[in-house]
Amino acid sequence: METLREEEVLRLEEALLKKMEERLTPLMEQAARDAARMAMQRLRLDMMAHISRHEETIQRLAKAALAAEHIPR
């Protein structure tokens, strides 16, 4: 009788674990997608800032080159 109860408890625990896994798996997948999306957004912003700094440098150098051309030799 006790062995039967232990087997029933084990079956119930296994069923409970399976249900929890079924519920948690989509949540974990969504959390991973959200984290990846946030990381990509941060990377995109960092790259845009980096490009912007280079564009500013290029514009400053172009202005300096134009100014240098106007200096009499």
The total number of structural domains that make up the chain: 1
Length of the chain counted residue by residue? 73
Q: Which residues form the domain of 38? A: 1-73
pLDDT for position 1 = 67
Residues in the chain, pLDDT under 70: 1
pLDDT for position 70 = 83
